[in-house]
Amino acid sequence: MTTSPEYLTDSYAQSATAKVIAVTNEGGIILDRSLFYATSGGQPGDSGLLSWGDHQLEIATTLKGEEGAFICLPAEPKALPSVGQEVMQKINWDRRYRHMRMHSALHLLSVVIPLPVTGGSIGADKSRLDFDMSEPPQDKDALTAALNNLVQGDFEITERWITEDELDANPGLVKTLSVQPPRGSGRIRLVRIGNDARQVDLQPCGGTHVRRTGEIGPVRISKIEKKGKQNRRVHIVFDNS
């Protein structure tokens, strides 16, 4: 009952057909291939619509189930498609695209603050990373300027895959202490910012990203909080000023 994550092939695809392969006891819908990102790694699951015939079903979020299944959860109880039914899936693109911009911005934040990451959360309007940091940064404005310099550099964002053995041989690629790259398939997806002339960042990631850092737009470090003796939480927001 595995769902193929089609967003890994094209994170900009907004609609596509799919076939229902299962319906859970709770009313969740499992598709054979999904444009909907399933909640993981601090990135929320996608919302959107499923339609078939005269029916339309609003999807509130998407979660990961067992054996690689993605479960689309309806926003309210309504008629569900039957197993085998072909449906049209349409994601809430505005929300997804903001998540993509934020996710890419957090990768840049991990460059500006080159310390181990202990947690994180992505939102459509604000996001955060937690760092293993005993003392807070002295100049928040300088960090914001450095972050926006990378955004304005308009670096290309690409992906490539390596084996689990290659990752084990390069443990420094993993920046997160709390979340490890998913294993079991034999390969790991790396997200790269920059190119051979200037590689800005390279780390394992299963989330969705923009194609270039320039798409992120201006961002601002809005707040830095103390969350334990060795933990600082750094918040970022889109800067519309």
The pLDDT mean for the chain works out to 93
Residues 194, 122 share a domain:
yes
Is 241 a residue whose pLDDT tops 60? no
pLDDT-derived band at 28 (thresholds 50, 70, 90) equals: very high
Q: What is the pLDDT of residue 186?
A: 77
Contact 106, 119 (CB under 8 A): no
Residues 156 and 214 in one domain: yes
pLDDT at 60 over 60: yes
What is residue 121's predicted lDDT score, i.e. its pLDDT? 96
pLDDT at 179: 66
In which domain, by residue range, is 113 found? 96-238
End-to-end Cα, the chain, rounded Å: 47
- Average pLDDT of span 19-47: 96
Share of the chain above pLDDT 90, in %: 81
Q: Is residue 75 very low, low, confident or very high in pLDDT (cuts 50, 70, 90)?
A: very high
Read off the CATH number of the domain in which 21 is found. Answer: 2.40.30.130
Tens digit of each residue's pLDDT (9 = 90 or more) over 144-203: 999 999 999 999 999 999 888 888 888 888 887 666 666 666 789 999 999 999 999 999
| Burial class of residue 78, CB neighbours in 10 A (0-12, 13-18, 19+) | exposed
**Residue entry with tokens 């390596």:** 162
The Cα–Cα gap between 225 and 233 comes to 5
203 and 109 housed in the same domain: yes
Paired strand residues for 119 = 130
Mean pLDDT value across residues 232-240:
94
> What are the backbone angles phi and psi of residue 89, rounded to the nearest 5°?
-105, 135
Question: Total domain count for the chain?
Answer: 2
Same-domain pairing of 169 and 61: no
Q: Are residues 80 and 123 in the same domain?
A: no
Has residue 43 got a pLDDT over 60?
yes
Q: Are residues 46 and 108 in the same domain?
A: no
